[in-house]
Amino acid sequence: MLMVMRRLGWLGRVMIIAPSVLTANLADLAQSCQKAVDSGLDWLHLDVMDGNFVPNLTFGPPVIRSLRKALGPEPVFDAHLMISNAETCFQDYIDAGCNHLSVHVEAATHLHRLVTAIRAAGASVGVVLNPGTPVDAALEVLSELDLVLVMSVNPGFGGQSFIPTVEQKIRRLKTAIDAQVAAGGRPVQIQIDGGVKSHNIAMLRDWGVSNCVVGSGLFNEKASVQENLEIIKAALEA
């Protein structure tokens, strides 16, 4: 597992920036993602929505497979499965080229069985906590996880405001993860998604977040991905 974590860039890193490809130019997705990779970003966050678990519909394994073919083996494909049938189709996403799968607590009938099955299939695994999902849902399976994704907006739509009450959720997770590691258990990343920008990313790091999904803060018409990334890096260093 240590080798897997190194492959995913989870050791010796202060903050992982995972650009959300949903905010990229979908008409030329591969080129937009390549610009992010060329800027030094080795994670790509793939928002998979099925129009059922969440209202929107995005893409699935065929698009991911094409994106993997275009970008090659190096970028980490971090798939956020906002779908109701992850228990029956998670293997399709691994086969398409995903390195990591995060699944929603509410979408899994048998959460422990699902996360252990994903790990057995060769991917790293996380669970997702919506703003209304209690922390305890993740703590029940924390020893089996590589990552907990905390949603700071309600999933399914972009452009929402950051929900500041996630602070206590993140701090509880950080305390539990630190205790698990101190007891010789697995280290677990805390990832956050929703409203992450240069003005709040340092605050999130101080709360205990080590992996931030950034959408319009990287992909926008005001500046290039590289220029926006430099602004975010400056905010983290300030």
Active site residues: 47, 193
End-to-end CA distance of the chain: 34
Among the listed residues 196, 119, 137, the one whose alpha carbon sits nearest the alpha carbon of residue 163? 196
Cα separation, 210 vs 208, whole angstroms? 6
Which amino acid is residue 217, in one-letter code?
A: G
| Cα four-point dihedral sign 169, 157, 235, 100 | positive
Cα separation, 195 vs 201, whole angstroms? 10
Under 8 Å CB-to-CB from 82, ≥6 apart: which residues?
47, 48, 49, 50, 53, 54, 104, 107, 128, 155, 156
In this structure, what token pair is assigned to residue 118? Answer: 């994903």
